[in-house]
Amino acid sequence: MEKKNCFVIMPISDTDGYDNGHFTRVYEHLIKPAILQAGFNPIRADDKKNTNYIVIDILKMILDSDLVLCDLSSKNANVLYELGIRQAFNKKALLLKDLKTERIFDIQGLRHIEYDESLRIDSVKKDINLISEALSDTYKANDNEVNSLIQLLSIKPASISNSMELSNETSILLKAIESIDDRLNNLENKSSTSIPRSKNEVRKIKINNEEFESGDTIFLNSELKGRLIDILNSSIIVRDDQNRITKISLNHPNINTLSKYPF
């Protein structure tokens, strides 16, 4: 029987007040084992390896996953935004936070689990069992139980209509756009291999503990820059959705914000 998906919303990049790589360790040694123990397939944003527009993939996982586990530790703004999307549709989510993070006022009425951020082996074993049990209980809970602030406030949840009909003209236009997009992708694949390479170029590069390679979607200071098509010793080459090429220096003042994700 195929496992149901549990999408994890949590800080991914390094965060002030925590050691580098802290939340990756939380995911690998606490959250992921708990999800597997509960019988779900764990998915995090950086598990998505394809080169599609990553924001669309994230939104789909937030809305379509059987369950969401959200770690509110450090009160990360992007985490709260993504949780808001899930709650707007009144879909089930289990909330976590570490002991050092203060409670967030707006979610105090919702059930949550606290864990020891030190990740001591004795506390991790206990917390894995608590989280695993809470995941199972949350998934099995009656849909009429409180899953979100939407339910607490008796507000009608958001919905996505499947009844929208496109006019003939709009359908033709969308097909034309799809055709153009396919042609641009073909041109991109050809041109990315035709750019001359210097002897000192590398195929992959690591910046701020995040590895980048050709084909990755690139964000700088949370702004979409385009797709990475080449990597040099002192810069990277990016092509945007209008087929414009930009060189970003590795000495750029905001290079520490470079990411494959918009957060």
Instruction: Using the predicted structure, report yes or no on whether residue 209 has a pLDDT greater than 50.
Output: yes
C-alpha closest to that of 224 among 209, 239, 208: 239
Tell me how far CA of residue 133 lies from CA of 38, 82, 91, 160, 241, in angstroms.
Answer: 7, 24, 19, 31, 45
* Residue that is written with structure tokens 């080459």 in the block: 237
Q: Domains in the chain, please, with CATH?
A: 4-152 (3.40.50.450), 197-263 (2.30.30)
Of the given ranges (65-74, 125-134, 146-155), which has the lowest mean pLDDT? Answer: 146-155
Buried b (16+ CB within 10 A) or exposed e, 176-207: eeeeeeeeeeeebeeebeeeeeeeeeeeebee
113 vs 145, more confident: 113
Per-residue pLDDT at 199: 42
Neighbouring C-beta atoms of residue 125, cutoff 10 Å: 12
DSSP element (H, E) containing 193 = helix 168-194
The type of residue at 66 is D
Of the given ranges (49-63, 119-133, 212-226), which has the lowest mean pLDDT? Answer: 49-63
The per-residue pLDDT for range 169-208, each reduced to its tens digit, is 555 555 555 555 555 555 555 544 444 444 444 468 888 7
Average per-residue pLDDT in the chain?
79
Per-residue pLDDT at 192: 45
Structure tokens of 171?
């359908």
Instruction: Using the predicted structure, report yes or no on whether residue 32 has a pLDDT greater than 50.
Output: yes
Confidence of residue 165 (pLDDT cuts 50, 70, 90): low
Q: Largest Cα–Cα distance of the chain, in whole Å?
A: 64
Instruction: Using the predicted structure, report yes or no on whether residue 133 has a pLDDT greater than 50.
Output: yes
Per-residue pLDDT at 44: 92
Average pLDDT over residues 206-229: 85
Of the given ranges (5-19, 90-104, 136-150), which has the lowest mean pLDDT? Answer: 136-150
Neighbouring C-beta atoms of residue 64, cutoff 10 Å: 10
Q: In whole angstroms, give the CA distance from residue 62 to residue 64.
A: 6
Per-residue pLDDT at 47: 72
- Please tell me the pTM assigned to this model: 0.59
The per-residue pLDDT for range 40-55, each reduced to its tens digit, is 999 998 776 554 446 7
> Looking at residue 207, what DSSP letter applies?
E
Per-residue pLDDT at 109: 60
